[in-house]
């Protein structure tokens, strides 16, 4: 396998791009959130790929931190989403536009 | 052989991610994301980052995805209302991005120094290395992450607690 790093980086980029497209163009808050998670995952994969290619542990430790941040972020975000659903009875960004009016 | 396994995991990873974009039902989309996360864990295994792969499966597939499924089911079967034109446009943009990056991205691999001897244990493989590194070089980020987690827990409890003022008002109205 010659192009290992490039192949992993391509996968990481595509994961990030998918997450970004989801976060930008989907209407549902849960799917937007899953997009953000996928972006974090792509970044983590890139960190791990570079760490593995260069034999340096720092990238691995940063990937570990990304996992921590993602877990904390999911807890807070989903709490906000459920609370929002309790108040507005919807999670679609089409209907949650009171700040934009 | 290694290459075939890589392509399988890569396909799982990207196919699952695409499923999140395309599937109309949110529980299905969450399951699709589970496939994607398992693919990422497999890729981490191929990178010899066994510890990260393990944490990935336990934290993402075990905790985060369960939360997502829980919320998706709590919120009910709201369907994704976006039409097929938007989906086709998203798919086209996705494919175009992939093709463009695959065609024009520079070869980074040549810049990487040669790997350590193949018989040596990869540095990412051993959990002990992470512990040593976290408690020496990365002490400040570790403490900050701890503070962040504490803040997150506090915020979640504050958000989830019913507002006592509101409840009082409701009781007065009744």
Q: For the segment B67-92, what is each residue's pLDDT rounded down to a tens digit? A: 988 888 888 766 666 678 888 888 88
Contact B130 A60 (CB under 8 A): yes
Q: What is the mean pLDDT of residues B54-65?
A: 89
Number of Cβ within a 10 Å radius of residue B114: 6
Query: Tokens standing for A62?
Result: 């940063």
Q: For the segment A10-25, what is each residue's pLDDT rounded down to a tens digit? A: 899 999 999 999 999 8
Query: Tokens standing for A99?
Result: 């700040």
Query: Tokens standing for B135?
Result: 């408690």
B128 in Cβ contact with A48 (< 8 Å): no
Q: For the segment A24-46, what is each residue's pLDDT rounded down to a tens digit? A: 988 888 889 999 999 999 999 99
The predicted pLDDT at position B108 comes to 62
The predicted pLDDT at position B159 comes to 87
Contact A14 B97 (CB under 8 A): yes
Find residue A28's DSSP bridge partners.
A92
Mutate to test the interface with A, among B75, B129, B155 (most CBs of A within 10 A): B75
The answer to whether the predicted template modeling score (pTM) of the entire model surpasses 0.90 is no
Q: For the segment B9-36, what is each residue's pLDDT rounded down to a tens digit? A: 999 999 999 999 888 888 889 999 999 9
The predicted pLDDT at position B77 comes to 65
pLDDT of A90 > 60? The answer is yes
With H, G, I as helix, E, B as strand and everything else as coil, classify residue B84: helix
Kindly state whether A24 is in contact with chain B, defined as any CB-CB distance less than 8 angstroms: no
Find residue A92's DSSP bridge partners.
A28
Query: Tokens standing for B160?
Result: 């989830």
Contact A53 B115 (CB under 8 A): yes
HSE-up of B144 (CA within 13 Å, CB side)? 7
The predicted pLDDT at position A1 comes to 42
A19 in Cβ contact with A42 (< 8 Å): yes
Please give the mean pLDDT across all residues of chain A: 87
The predicted pLDDT at position B117 comes to 45
The predicted pLDDT at position B110 comes to 45
Kindly state whether B87 is in contact with chain A, defined as any CB-CB distance less than 8 angstroms: no
Residue whose C-alpha is closest to residue B148's, from A45, A39, A71, A37: A71
With H, G, I as helix, E, B as strand and everything else as coil, classify residue A66: helix
C-alpha A93, offset from chain centre: 18
B91 in Cβ contact with B15 (< 8 Å): no
pLDDT of B129 > 80? The answer is yes
Using CB atoms, pick whichever of A25, A61, A83 lies closest to residue B90. A25
| pLDDT band at B156; cut points 50, 70, 90 | very high
Cα–Cα distance measured from residue B170 to residue B174, given in angstroms and rounded to the nearest whole number: 6
The predicted pLDDT at position B121 comes to 67
| pLDDT band at A87; cut points 50, 70, 90 | confident
């Amino acid at each position: 396998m010659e192009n290992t790093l490039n192949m992993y980086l391509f996968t990481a980029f595509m994961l990030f791009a998918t997450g970004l497209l989801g976060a930008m163009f989907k209407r549902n808050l849960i799917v937007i959130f899953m997009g953000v998670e996928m972006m974090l995952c792509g970044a983590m994969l890139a960190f791990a790929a570079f760490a593995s290619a260069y034999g340096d542990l720092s990238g691995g430790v940063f990937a570990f931190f990304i996992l921590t941040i993602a877990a904390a972020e999911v807890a807070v975000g989903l709490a906000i989403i459920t609370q929002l659903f309790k108040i507005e009875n919807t999670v679609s960004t089409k209907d949650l536009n009171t700040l934009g009016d | 052989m290694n290459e075939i396994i890589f392509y399988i995991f890569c396909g799982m990873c990207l196919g699952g991610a695409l499923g999140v974009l395309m599937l109309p039902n949110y529980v299905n989309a969450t399951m699709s994301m589970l496939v994607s996360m398992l693919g990422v864990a497999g890729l981490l295994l191929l990178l010899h980052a066994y510890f990260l792969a393990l944490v990935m499966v336990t934290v993402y597939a075990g905790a985060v995805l369960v939360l997502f499924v829980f919320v998706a089911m709590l919120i009910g079967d709201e369907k994704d209302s976006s039409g097929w034109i938007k989906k086709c446009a998203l798919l086209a943009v996705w494919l175009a991005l992939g093709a463009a990056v695959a065609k024009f991205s520079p070869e980074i691999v040549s810049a990487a120094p040669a790997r350590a001897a193949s018989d040596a244990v990869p540095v990412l493989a051993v959990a002990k290395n992470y512990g040593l590194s976290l408690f020496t070089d990365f002490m400040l980020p570790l403490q900050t992450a701890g503070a962040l987690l504490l803040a997150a827990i506090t915020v979640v409890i504050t958000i989830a607690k019913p507002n006592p003022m509101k409840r009082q008002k409701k009781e007065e109205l009744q």
